[in-house]
Amino acid sequence: MAERLQKVMANAGVASRRASEKMILDGRVRVNGKVIKELGQKVDGNDVIEVDGHLIEREEKVYYLFYKPRGVISAAKDDKGRKVVTDYFTDYSERVYPVGRLDYDTSGLLLLTNDGELANRLMHPRYKVNKTYVAKVKGIVQNDELKQLRVGVRLKDGKKSARAKAKILSLDKKSDTSIVSLTIHEGRNHQVKNMLQAVGHPVKKLKRETYGFLTLAGLTSGQYRELTREEVKALYELGNK
């Protein structure tokens, strides 16, 4: 698949996309031996790209489904020295980064890739990718509270959440806790926690179980697998809707 030259340069780690555009305009980039001085040039995997006479190495695109444990940061690095999700991928030469994020104390399904185009599509609010979470909350959830979640609740920032699918999985009156399933397509910070807090049930434990059509089947905490070619294609189709 052909992509814009500056995007390929940015994905290869040459510079940011904007800085790569300046390099092109300054005549520092060659494609198949020809100097490119205008933006808009598209290249594919067969093209040879040089910057200042040096051949750039283009990473193969990789896609992983990761079962993130609790107590791990959804980032490529952390300035406080805490464990990050990419610590689990040290055996690979490709640089990967998470698609979106899960809170430090939230476990579950997280995608990691070096495909910036797919990551941007999946994270964009307009594509409305469904994500299902299972939460253990304080208190016994009532049916009228589920109805509030289904039509949307007013959050801390004053904005109303979108409609959600919500159901009770189990109740434990002895420990005064409930386990609830919540399916949303929004991705605001602490979205699920804030929604459940808004109906009076603080979250004690949270796990993301699905992302679109993907599930954690066959994985335990800390494990991952590569996505199949068919799964990657289906994710692109999700991002095209």
Give the residue numbers marked as catalytic. Answer: 103
107 within 8 A of 68, measured Cβ to Cβ: yes
Interhelix angle 116-123/229-240, rounded to 10 degrees, is 50
Q: How far is CA 111 from CA 56, 64, 190, in A?
A: 26, 6, 18
The contacts of residue 94 (CB under 8 Å, 6+ apart) are 59, 60, 62, 114
Q: Is 74 exposed, middle or buried (0-12, 13-18, 19+ CB in 10 A)?
A: buried
